[in-house]
């Protein structure tokens, strides 16, 4: 997905300039890819070492500041990215300028829509981001040569479809308390790609403002704040500095989602 140069604090690291690590687990893999979460859990995990090397020659890692626009609606797609760290906010804008948050993406998600010429959404850095970007042509060429890569991208697409359907239930049928709990559980489960999936606690900074959370959930800012205060009073969460959240028990939080 193209990144607007004027919005970035560029810190490019071209992986082709790094030596290959030679050990029993990563022989033939560029050293910068060896410890990358996207390689282990994301789409790059479907690539053979020689494919990783080829992709690394055209890839760059860079930092993106919170609030930067990554791509706008109807802009031409020139590149894709793996999210290495941080959260991306996806929005749709109506003709009169009204905007709706339609999704969030986390590390190590693949950011972009293969086989489309233009983007159908706006993508913005909800937090400071670390991305690994590569040309559209390079990844689509590899998809045609690698059924495993195509399968990995299909799995992510289907997972996002399942999550979108679940979110439709949240927005359409859950009450305000359940919506806020569902949002917090979504963040707690996705914001740290290195966390043990079996863990029952989480600590994180909210990636959205109260206004954005309200927009995402179809609530007012006052309702969001009131429901978070109630969760705090019931010892389901702890809140520090307005955005730092601690969830002692994800199971207790899940109960409050009504799922």
Do 144 and 189 have their domain in common? no
What's the whole-number mean pLDDT along residues 143-150?
Answer: 87
Output b/e per residue, 149-181; b: 16+ Cβ within 10 A. Answer: bbebbeeeeeeeeeeeeebeebeeebebbbbbb
Do 153 and 25 have their domain in common? yes
Do 91 and 149 have their domain in common? yes
Residue 179: name the closest of 139, 226, 132, 144 by CA: 226
What's the whole-number mean pLDDT along residues 81-95?
Answer: 93
**Residue 237: what pLDDT?**
97
Q: Is residue 72 part of a domain?
A: yes
**Residue 12: what pLDDT?**
38
Q: Which two tokens stand for residue 180?
A: 């806020």
Computed over every residue of the chain, the mean pLDDT equals 86
**Residue 123: what pLDDT?**
96
Do 42 and 98 have their domain in common? yes
pLDDT band of residue 245 (cuts 50, 70, 90) is: very high
The boundaries of the domain holding residue 182 are 173-255
Do 13 and 111 have their domain in common? yes
Residues 203, 175, 101, CA angle at the centre, nearest 5°?
A: 65
Distance CA 26, CA 48 (A): 11
Q: Calculate the alpha carbon distances from 40 to 82, 185, 193 in Å.
A: 12, 24, 10
Residue 9: pLDDT over 50 = no
Query: What is the per-residue pLDDT across 39-81, written as a single tens digit (0 to 9) for each?
Result: 677 888 888 888 888 888 888 899 999 999 999 988 999 999 9
Do 15 and 120 have their domain in common? yes
Do 54 and 115 have their domain in common? yes
pLDDT band of residue 13 (cuts 50, 70, 90) is: very low
End of a domain among 114, 135, 160? 160
| CATH number reported for the structural domain that contains residue 192 in this entry | 1.10.10.10
Do 184 and 59 have their domain in common? no
End of a domain among 122, 137, 160? 160
Residue 10: pLDDT over 50 = no
**Residue 66: what pLDDT?**
96
Query: What is the per-residue pLDDT across 188-228, written as a single tens digit (0 to 9) for each?
Result: 999 988 788 889 999 999 999 999 999 999 999 999 999 99
Sort residue 200 into left (φ over 0), alpha (ψ -120 to 50) or beta. alpha
| CATH number reported for the structural domain that contains residue 23 in this entry | 2.60.120.10
Do 188 and 89 have their domain in common? no
Q: Is residue 165 part of a domain?
A: no
Q: Is residue 168 part of a domain?
A: no
pLDDT band of residue 37 (cuts 50, 70, 90) is: low
Query: What whole-number percentage of the chain has pLDDT above 70?
Result: 87
Do 70 and 147 have their domain in common? yes
Q: Is residue 166 part of a domain?
A: no
Alpha-helical runs (H) found in 5-56: 31-34, 37-41, 49-56
Q: Is residue 204 part of a domain?
A: yes
pLDDT band of residue 38 (cuts 50, 70, 90) is: low
Do 191 and 237 have their domain in common? yes
Residue 18: pLDDT over 80 = no
Q: Is residue 167 part of a domain?
A: no
48: buried, middle or exposed (CB in 10 Å: 19+, 13-18, 0-12)? middle
Give helix 176-190 / helix 221-233 axis angle, nearest 10°: 70
Do 64 and 149 have their domain in common? yes
CA 7 to mean position of chain CA atoms: 19
What's the whole-number mean pLDDT along residues 106-119?
Answer: 90
Q: Which two tokens stand for residue 136?
A: 């559209």
Residue 15: pLDDT over 80 = no
Q: Is residue 140 part of a domain?
A: yes
Query: What whole-number percentage of the chain has pLDDT above 90?
Result: 56
Distance CA 148, CA 158 (A): 15
Residue 252: pLDDT over 70 = yes
Are 207 and 104 contacting, i.e. CB atoms less than 8 angstroms apart? yes
Q: Is residue 84 part of a domain?
A: yes
How many distinct structural domains can be found in the chain? 2
């Amino acid at each position: 997905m193209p990144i607007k140069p004027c919005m970035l604090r560029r810190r490019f690291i071209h992986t082709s300039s790094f030596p290959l690590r030679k050990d029993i687990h990563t022989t033939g893999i560029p050293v910068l890819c060896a410890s990358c979460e996207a390689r282990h859990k994301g789409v790059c995990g479907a690539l053979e070492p020689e494919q990783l090397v080829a992709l690394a020659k055209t890839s760059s890692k860079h930092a993106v500041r919170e609030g930067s626009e990554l791509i706008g609606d109807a802009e031409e797609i020139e590149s894709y990215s793996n999210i290495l760290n941080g959260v991306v906010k996806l929005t749709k804008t109506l003709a009169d300028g009204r905007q709706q948050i339609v999704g969030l993406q986390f590390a190590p998600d693949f950011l972009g829509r293969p086989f489309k010429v233009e983007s159908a959404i706006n993508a913005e850095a909800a937090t400071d981001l670390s991305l690994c970007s590569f040309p559209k042509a390079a990844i689509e060429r590899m998809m045609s040569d690698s059924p495993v890569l195509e399968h990995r991208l299909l799995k992510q697409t289907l997972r996002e479809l399942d999550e979108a359907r679940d979110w439709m239930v949240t927005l359409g049928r859950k009450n305000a308390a359940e919506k806020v709990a569902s949002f917090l559980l979504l963040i707690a489960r996705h914001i740290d790609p290195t966390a043990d999936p079996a863990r029952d606690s989480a600590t994180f900074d909210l990636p959205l403002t109260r206004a954005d959370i309200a927009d995402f959930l179809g609530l007012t800012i006052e309702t969001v704040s009131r429901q978070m205060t109630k969760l705090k009073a019931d010892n389901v969460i702890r809140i520090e500095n307005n955005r730092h959240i601690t969830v002692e028990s994800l199971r207790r939080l899940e109960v409050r989602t009504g799922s």
